Amino acid sequence: MHGIPGGIFGPVNPDFDAFQLSDSHRQLRAAVRELAEAQIEPYAADCDENARYPQEAHDALVASDFFAPHVPEEYGGAGADALAVCLVIEEVARVCVSSSLIPAVNKLGSMPLILGGSEELKHRYLTPMAEGKSGFCYGLSEREAGSDTAGMKCTATEQADGSWVLDGHKAWITNAGEMDYYTVLAVTEPEGRRGANITAFVVERGDEGFSFGAKERKLGIKGSPTRELLFDHCVIPGDRVVGARGEGLKLALRTLDHTRITIGAQAVGVAQGALDKAVGYVKAREQFGKHIAEFQGVQFMLADMAMHLEAARQLVYAAASKSERGDRDLSYFGAAAKCFASDMAMKVTTDAVQLMGGMGYTRDFPVERMMRDAKITQIYEGTNQIQRIVMARQILG
């Protein structure tokens, strides 16, 4: 493995100006863009067409230290700050949303360990991820417990020898089957107070009694496999508990405060990619004797697309600064960044298809894939209806 020379991530700077990137952040953006265009974009359409994992992107991200850039330096990672992680995800999503889920879900799955895990667990699992040897997935949702996470049914029962037995399932798990480590939330006190009876665990792919469901057949992000996690008397040792017993849901929700921002970054990236393609098309396409970019109606559409895209980008960057500092209003800003950016991405990608007309509706051009991929950003890591509930609660105190 090798990093980008010149201290590309730079020192953590929680006071960066959200309206002007530092030199190190600009260098990072340029480096990731070059990598994404050269080593990820050429395979994006094939991964979508054949619903296959983007192994080329995986390998390129590992080789460049962009696979899990959030891992702190003390565990062998690059120690990227929250904005740097967003820039990595944004630039990869600009060419392939499925591939951007590799660094994004590595952060999502491992954030509970970073926030609440023991030092022994952090060294055991974060170090191999930083080295690109394995990644993380996040097991929170269930078929009947999506938005209502406290309603989960998956159980973990403690045994006399201190081990735990997991039974149940987790649904909609991104990159399941491709990674070795799974942070799983399970009910440990069935008769306990709802929401305060859940504990977090690390499950390894090779654990007996742990298996995967079939791949979901999805509208978009087809290169990123989504499967159920199935637990049939799955025994794991007692030293794999993350955080305190009964504090799992709190840890899970704290995790989402930080990682929803990365979904905002993903949305910004796919919108930027669609806008770039649309601009190139309208400048080249001629109708009625002139380029369609010269028509005021087209210009107004482009202006609105670019305006809302930049507003979303700045909100995501501001939320990233709050994540880095651990500000008290992070819950609001994380939800706002994810919600606003994903709604924007759906509108911008749809408008990009419209601007390209019949061509935009075909698989010969990437904007139809971008439109399909953008939709999920309004749904996962909490639907945008849930984000509005989170924001409203913060406003009302």
pLDDT above 50 (res 42): yes
Assess contact for 318 and 245: CB atoms under 8 A.
Answer: no
- Maximum Cα–Cα distance across the chain: 81
Catalytic residue list contains 120: no
DSSP 203-267: EETT-TTEEE-PPP--SS-TTS-EEEEEEEEEEE-GGGEESSTTBHHHHHHHHHHHHHHHHHHHH
- What is the phi/psi pair of residue 181, to 5°? -120, 140
Mean pLDDT of 5-34: 70
The whole-number pLDDT of residue 19 equals 64
Mean pLDDT of 17-26: 81
Confidence of residue 8 (pLDDT cuts 50, 70, 90): very low
Q: Are strands 164-174 and 136-139 parallel, antiparallel or unpaired?
A: unpaired
The whole-number pLDDT of residue 20 equals 80
243-292 pLDDT per residue, tens? 999 999 999 999 999 999 999 999 999 999 999 999 999 999 999 999 99
pLDDT above 70 (res 383): yes
Confidence of residue 55 (pLDDT cuts 50, 70, 90): very high
Q: Determine the Cα–Cα distance for residues 40 and 56; give it in Å rounded to an integer.
A: 7
Confidence of residue 15 (pLDDT cuts 50, 70, 90): very low
pLDDT above 80 (res 10): no
Token representation of residue 134: 């394995």
- pTM given for the model: 0.94
101-132 pLDDT per residue, tens? 999 999 999 999 999 999 999 999 999 999 99
Percent of the chain at pLDDT exceeding 70: 95
Element (H, E) at 138: strand 136-139
Q: Compute, in degrees rounded to 10, the torsion defined by CA atoms 294, 361, 219, 367.
A: -40
**Across the strands, what pairs with 201?**
184, 241
**Average pLDDT score over the chain:** 95
pLDDT above 90 (res 69): yes
Percent of the chain at pLDDT exceeding 90: 95
**Across the strands, what pairs with 291?**
286
Token representation of residue 253: 């929700």
pLDDT above 90 (res 18): no
Polymer length of the chain: 397
286-342 pLDDT per residue, tens? 999 999 999 999 999 999 999 999 999 999 999 999 999 999 999 999 999 999 999
142-162 pLDDT per residue, tens? 999 999 999 999 999 999 999
168-220 pLDDT per residue, tens? 999 999 999 999 999 999 999 999 999 999 999 999 999 999 999 999 999 99
